[in-house]
Structure 1
């Protein structure tokens, strides 16, 4: 029986990939240790300075003097098909260190493990654990047991070494090996997802040509490349919180890059505040005149806290815990206030910083406009439900520098600039934006700084649940539903975390992220 060219191509198209897969993943790929550099940025990089600045300035508050700080996030993973155990690492049995990471031109200030697979024991990374340490320019990691596809992430905070003058730093040098691994067992830098050796990739590329030849007999056109699971086509309109806007801008950019048929147009006025966003969403839903049970698939709004009553068709989805902070002009002379002192200041009982141990400067309250979630959270959770005092001037430039007063502004950036330029000014802001502004000072409350740990443990009061709202239930295949899934996925959570917020699913007490915005009983 003779075979046609099409039949021969079909046989080759089946046999060769099977043989290649057996060789790469069963024979040669039994053990494979890999790493990825997921983030390597300095405070000089404007595109990523927001999250890096937050962490590094916090290090400076703790007394560390960083001249040219940077952060590196590495993912260590088992990229093979066999578990990696302690005995597999190429190191003496008496040496607890399995992986060494050097940073040429930089010294290590500190490190932490930010994420690990559920099956990776946390005991490997507790302070003082054998093999888990830093020494000068090097990070040492223990002989971690990694099942197939298991991973963990290490975040290192670094500073430029004296005498290193190159403008850019070399890539981190990762040294490790496993017994019986692929190509000598040395750790390999992997792509986004471990795939195959160079030889097999060349072989598969050749097979693509064969398959294309066979397909030409049966197909008249080419098939579109399937988009990732969370991708959806269409245009998505985002609105709402200015405090959460940096997260949404970065996530929208990444989503458009991942999903070529998605469009998320954003302008300077896309985010005007939580209440404005809720109003915009409600108006769009009413104009659409959707029947009960159906929702808008092209709009989302984000609010610092819960909606008000009277919006029954707006459905909440808690996304993250957001931190806020009080900020003052750097010449106010205060760094810590008790909760009672904060309430006295906003009640008008204290009008000069000297009354609370600061300099002899009148207090000027700079607040967000009504409708701001940051302001609403201040009134509800810090001021015990009491409203702010009356505005004394409609324009902050008109504040009398010799008398106390209050004015209002529209956005977080404008508020921070106003506080920085007004002696004695006190305002409120999202923590990430405040940390990135050099000319304001954050205020501790009852001795507690604005940290996620303090909020999670009930010690720090100025925080709120960041909530995504939809008008009705969006269709499962809509761009609104896809973007929400993206925020809850690994990449989205990395963006949320990098901007100083905490995904609700990662909290020690997830009930803090309640849709009604009320703290769970403690």
Structure 2
């Protein structure tokens, strides 16, 4: 996207050889930050982005709480006619249909990568699973940890809500069209006289297997009771995601419901610049190439 007038250069421009290399790189500042929302694991990223680019350091995102589905739904202009942006994981197929049903013209740019990580309880002796093993476990072909080098106990699998960005990524990258069998469910109170079954929140026991965002479990909500499993023998880090040894990239998208808002275009432009990529790395994301 082209650089736009809505962004002001906050530091002096480096002129052809006239400034020493130790001078800080230019930083960009948005005069007016747009309406914005984020997937829950990316809320702190959105808040820090505002603090980085906005003159108002005390801003709190009014729509930052909620699911990936809620973030994408905020782009529907029938409900919210103003230009807005979101930081989110990929939308589910159902969410894409909903956007289409409301004739929402949206666009998205990958600004960096999180990692989809497999998690278990810290006391589980298993440290690594292959992608094929994970698929077979969630398909019901492997049902006991002993089959993958662990203790002789049934594997309790956990999934996410069907419209979750993490569930969407897991189904696309891991299951590849194979159905998930028997995830752990709980009964939930919905309203007076009505209860329903839904996916259960992950419990970090030695028999549990689930998936999450690396950003969420390592920075936003870390727990000593969790173990991150290697996948295909590789841990998730910048090097293994870049060279493909870690197979589960989780794209982080900056999406908007307009192609003409100068400030949103400028923020996207800055995040794809060298200083912006460095900033994203400092926030725990892996930059794009």
TM-score by length of structure 2 reads 0.75
In the alignment, is residue 500 of structure 1 matched against residue 276 of structure 2? Answer: no
**Structure with bigger RCO (C-alpha 8 Å, 6+ apart):** 2
In the alignment, is residue 277 of structure 1 matched against residue 71 of structure 2? Answer: yes
Per-residue Cα deviation, 1:308-335 (whole angstroms, up to 9, x for no partner): 3526501112211221210111222211
1:304–1:466 Cα contact (<8 Å) kept: yes
Alignment match of 2:37 (pick from 235, 239, 251): 239
SS of structure 1 residue aligned to 2:41: coil
1:328–1:442 Cα contact (<8 Å) kept: yes
1:392, distance to aligned residue in structure 2 (A):
4.8
1:193, distance to aligned residue in structure 2 (A):
7.7
Question: In structure 1, what is the equivalent of residue 21 of structure 2?
Answer: 150
Distance 1:287 1:333, change over 3 A: same
Alignment match of 2:186 (pick from 389, 394, 410): 394
Question: In structure 2, what is the equivalent of residue 205 of structure 1?
Answer: none
In the alignment, is residue 428 of structure 1 matched against residue 211 of structure 2? Answer: yes
Question: In structure 2, what is the equivalent of residue 303 of structure 1?
Answer: 88
Where do 1:35-434 residues align within 5 Å?
148-150=19-21, 230-233=29-32, 236-256=34-54, 259-260=55-56, 264-266=59-61, 270-282=64-76, 285-287=77-79, 296-297=82-83, 299-305=84-90, 308=96, 310=100, 313-395=105-187, 408=199, 418-420=202-204, 422-434=205-217
Count of residues paired in the alignment: 258
Q: Which runs of 5+ in 2 are unaligned?
A: 1-13, 189-196
TM-score by length of structure 1 reads 0.44
CA distance in 2, matches of 1:429, 1:248: 19
Q: Which runs of 5+ in 1 are unaligned?
A: 1-78, 84-147, 152-189, 195-227, 290-295, 397-405, 410-414, 508-522
Question: In structure 1, what is the equivalent of residue 268 of structure 2?
Answer: 484
SS of structure 2 residue aligned to 1:468: strand
CA distance in 2, matches of 1:482, 1:263: 21
1:501, distance to aligned residue in structure 2 (A):
1.4
